[in-house]
Amino acid sequence: MYEYDAIVVGAGLSGLRVAIELAEHYEVAVLSKVHPLRSHSVAAQGGINAAMSENDSWESHAFDTVKGSDYLADQDVVEVLTKNAPLAVIENERWGTAFSRTEDGKIAQRPFGGAAFPRTCYAADRTGHNLLHTTYEQALRHGVQFFDEWFVTSLVRQGDRIGGVTALDIATGAIHGFAARAVVIATGGFGRVYGHSTNALINTGDGCAIALRAGVPLKDMEFVQFHPTTLYGSSILITEGARGEGGYLLNKDNERFMKRYAPDKMELAPRDIVARAIRTEVLEGRGFEGQYVHLDLRHLGAEKIKERLPGIREICMHFAGIDPIEEPIPVLPGQHYSMGGIDCNVHGETVLKGLYAVGEAACMSVHGANRLGGNSLLETLVFGRLVGQAVSKYLEAAPKPQAAPVDEAAFTVRQDLQHLLMHDRGETPAQLREIMQHVMDEMVGVFRTKKELETALREIRVVKKRFVNVSLGRSDERFNYALVRTLELRNMLDLAESIILGALSREESRGAHWRLDFPHRDDERFLKHTLITKTDDTFSVSYKDVNLGKFEVKERSY
Amino acid sequence: MLFRVARSRSGEKISHYDLYKVDVKKGMTVLDALFQIQNYMDPSLSFRYSCRGAVCGSCAMLINKVPRLACRTQILELADTKVKLKPFLALTEAPLGWNPESEVLVEPLPNLPILKDLIVDMAPFFDALKQLELWVVPKEGTEPRKQSPEERKLIDRYVNCILCGLCYGSCPVNAEHKEYLGPAALAKSWRFYQDTRIEERERYLQAALAPNGAPLCDLVMNCVRVCPKDVAPGGAIRRIKQSGSS
Ligand SMILES: Cc1cc2nc3c(=O)[nH]c(=O)nc-3n(C[C@H](O)[C@H](O)[C@H](O)COP(=O)(O)OP(=O)(O)OC[C@H]3O[C@@H](n4cnc5c(N)ncnc54)[C@H](O)[C@@H]3O)c2cc1C
Ligand code: SF4
Ligand code: FES
């Protein structure tokens, strides 16, 4: 058994930032199922928001965020996010991140959807890559201890507080217990519940699922962001920066159709609105091959494309065989971001003492019903630091963890895995994963109805029943990825059920959650956060008030 | 299409090759094929993956004797993409019966210890970052530093490195000298040395000039040819050598 003051689960931007904060004063270990630099944060393209230009202000940033969220964000949390934004960006700059620059040497900022100012700082279209590498370098400098390629399997409770985690050492196949006084979940989003997703293949929401199983509620799970522009075929993201730099969206009649949906903002309306616009064009027969629209960058010219969007050009050439300097890019909406996650407050605290959540795995909530582009990289760094400080403070008085519950938990997990590996007849997990992803893509997408959601819920529950008899086939203990992926599938099935339940219960349309059978926002009944709780095998839905503040709840139009 | 995949259950060396028949459709990558094998034919096949979009560097491996990212390698285009590399044993020694016309050969990235199947131990590769202390020691301050677009351009290539290790696996010097820090770490040293925002830049250059660093490089330039991000480590190493000898 291992023992630490704090365990951070996840080595993306948020996990690393927490660890840096803790490393000076406490024994902290970061567990990650992949090497930290392979974390999903590395793939973020467009940029990170901070009100840093002359006329811009944190209030303006806060207003845009609250309005973008369709008033579901907690305004106290948004205030913290936007006030601390410049600090987070500057800190990373001083650590060495190579931001793109203006002629006079300042950090360059580009316009992003739903923002009143160009306030998205960027490093070409490789912002996440630059931030993650820099933050990892700083974690190395601070001597943070890493357990790379360790898959966390469960949380250990010790009475009313956290006692540690159990984890599978992927290299050996052994299960180990980690006793800790505090645990921070920073496992990122769960986009892979869907098939058409921009997310890394490892974004399976493990942290959210193990928290749910440990009795911690998930919040606002129905709010799934569909990014308007993902590459037709592979669903790789084409950054909003492409529209920020001036890209047009065209239907098959060569028409800039956004004029019908957001005449003022056009292509730079918030994501939910652009995603619905594209889906509508396609559903009404104005898409190419009945499936996608074009994102046209050609008028930007070769020089600008090469300088500002080199990664996009590379993606188009390698994954679609087209050069955006010469041809428009075929795009369609795809799952992109998980607004929902572990229910926690502005300090990352959950209902379980000593358990914290941060980053995309958490729902604090700053994004409400719809996240603005550039706000989530910001969330990871701002709250990585602040949650780290909160954990520090908690550790001053937190009691030592006990070994016994951790040992017992490790024993239980070992038994559970053996049981799973014993089945020698049954369905392959891959089949079930395909069904789950198909159900989510088709029935829990950009537009939703009661009928479809009910069917989806039934089908996911059937898949869960079938999962009990799943058979992994023969493998070795070492690097058993068939096992890892099966555990991920089990986690995702709980998350899929949570998403659908939240969506079914929310009889209104708000932000990214769009019900064709309830096409209006209903503040009377639903200006509230959804909470999903799991007790034994039953899921229940309840609600909790939104923290309102200085921005009055209004109709949202662009 | 047939896939001839190197296997090694207990690591160290390739123990045998397994042959799989994969249904190949247009647009399919080598990573897609490996998942098809793992999902439906052989769950025991191990390989690394994460982003599937050529940005995270997980899926570096040897495909048809060229180090490549599996997720960015289109199967149907493999036959037309020739990369000329200076050969060393791992790149020349082909398994018996491999027919390059009709079979895709997939092997672990050379020059690093094999742990299982296509998974190699990346520790020697990453340890160089720590050895050379490839990070900034920040100065107190609350303002962002200035940097002109021209100064930013000096490091542009090098900051794009995703630390995939393809260069390390393509390098004949790494094949011979276990202690050689390798192209990526040296390119990263050069990145910091060229970063005009940093005051103590000299230390990165000195670190790169360690006996197991730039002096060992023969300027073979395999690294430049395989790098998926145009980092061109060889160019950086050439300049490190020049800066060191002047
Ligand atoms: C393609 C793409 C582009 C994006 N671009 C932008 C952008 O331009 N601007 C912006 O603001 N946002 C962007 N986002 C969103 C943003 O990148 C993410 O929200 C953010 O990076 C999440 O960081 P994180 O630290 O919460 O998690 P991640 O970076 O996802 O890290 C999760 C970590 O948890 C670990 N982990 C997961 N499960 C386990 C387990 N069971 N055991 C152990 N470890 C585990 C993983 O190994 C990983 O280290 C983008 C998202 C996508 C998909
Ligand atoms: S220099 Fe190129 S090949 Fe080498 S690790 Fe970096 S990206 Fe990979
Ligand atoms: S899976 Fe990320 S580079 Fe291939």
Give the pLDDT confidence of A127-174 residue by residue, as tens digits: 999 999 999 999 999 999 999 999 999 999 999 999 999 999 999 999
Any idea what DSSP says for residue B66? E
Q: Is pLDDT at B79 greater than 90 in this prediction?
A: no
Q: Give the pLDDT score at B81.
A: 82
Place of tokens 């001597």: A143
Interface contact B39-A430, CB threshold 8 A:
yes
Reported ipTM: the value is: 0.97
Cα-to-chain-centroid distance, residue B219: 16
Q: What are A99-133's pLDDT values in tens digits?
A: 999 999 999 999 988 899 999 999 999 999 999 99
Q: Per residue in A533-551, is it b (16+ CB within 10 Å) or e — as a string?
A: bbeeeebebeeeebbeeeb
Confidence of residue B246 (pLDDT cuts 50, 70, 90): low
Map residue A453 onto helix, strand or coil.
Answer: helix
Q: Give the pLDDT score at B243.
A: 92
Nearest-angstrom CA–CA distance, A55 and A19: 35
Beta bridge partners of B3: B20, B104
Interface contact A38-B197, CB threshold 8 A:
no
Q: Both ends of chain B: CA-CA distance in Å?
A: 54
Portion 264-293 of A in contact with B at CB < 8 A:
none
Q: Give the pLDDT score at B59.
A: 98
Q: Mean per-residue pLDDT for A6-34?
A: 98
The percent helix, strand, coil of chain A (3-state, each to 5) is: 40, 20, 40
Q: Mean per-residue pLDDT for A334-357?
A: 98
Map residue A341 onto helix, strand or coil.
Answer: strand
Q: Is A466 a catalytic residue?
A: no
Any idea what DSSP says for residue B3? E
Chain B nearest-CA distance from A198, in A, is: 9
The catalytic residue among A38, A181, A271, A313 is: A271
Taking the CA atoms of A114, A116, A120 and A124 in sequence, report the sign of the dihedral they define: positive
Q: Which of B163, B191, B220, B237 to mutate to test the pocket of ligand 2 (most atoms within 8 A of CB)?
A: B163
User: What average pLDDT does the structure give for chain A?
Assistant: 96
Interface contact A93-B144, CB threshold 8 A:
yes
Would you call A314 an interface residue with chain B, using a CB distance cutoff of 8 Å?
yes
Dihedral in degrees, nearest 10, Cα atoms A471, A472, A473, A474: -140
Q: How many CA atoms lie within 13 A of A257 on its CB side?
A: 23
Contacting residues for B96 by C-beta, under 8 A, at least 6 apart: none
Per cent of chain A over pLDDT 90 is 95
Q: Mean per-residue pLDDT for B31-56?
A: 97
Q: Is pLDDT at A407 greater than 90 in this prediction?
A: yes
Q: Give the pLDDT score at B207.
A: 96
Pick from A105, A237, A479: which is nearest to B46 by CB?
A: A479
Interface contact B147-A473, CB threshold 8 A:
no
Q: Which residue has the higher pLDDT, A239 or B79?
A: A239
Which chain B residues touch A472 with a CB distance below 8 Å?
43
| Model pTM score | 0.97
Any idea what DSSP says for residue B116? E
* Residue B21 to residues B26, B27, B42, Cα–Cα distance (Å): 16, 17, 12
Confidence of residue B245 (pLDDT cuts 50, 70, 90): confident
Q: Give the pLDDT score at B184.
A: 98
Cβ(A367) – ligand 1 distance below 6 Å: no
Per cent of chain A over pLDDT 70 is 100
Confidence of residue B193 (pLDDT cuts 50, 70, 90): very high
CB A508 within 8 A of CB A526: yes
Q: Both ends of chain A: CA-CA distance in Å?
A: 55
Q: What are A186-209's pLDDT values in tens digits?
A: 999 999 999 999 999 999 999 999
Would you call B150 an interface residue with chain A, using a CB distance cutoff of 8 Å?
no
Residue A351 identity: V
Q: Is pLDDT at A501 greater than 80 in this prediction?
A: yes
Q: Is pLDDT at B4 greater than 80 in this prediction?
A: yes
Ligand 1 centroid to A326 CA: how many Å? 32
Q: Give the pLDDT score at B80.
A: 82
Q: Of ligand 3's atoms, which has the minimum distance to the CA of residue B162?
A: 3
Confidence of residue A424 (pLDDT cuts 50, 70, 90): confident
Any idea what DSSP says for residue B105? E
Q: Is pLDDT at A268 greater than 80 in this prediction?
A: yes
Q: Is pLDDT at A27 greater than 90 in this prediction?
A: yes
Q: Give the pLDDT score at A557.
A: 83
Kind of pairing, strands B103-107 and B2-7? parallel
Cα-to-chain-centroid distance, residue A204: 10
Nearest-angstrom CA–CA distance, A103 and B147: 9
Would you call B58 an interface residue with chain A, using a CB distance cutoff of 8 Å?
yes
Nearest-angstrom CA–CA distance, A353 and A155: 12
Which chain B residues touch A138 with a CB distance below 8 Å?
135-136
Q: Give the pLDDT score at A118.
A: 95
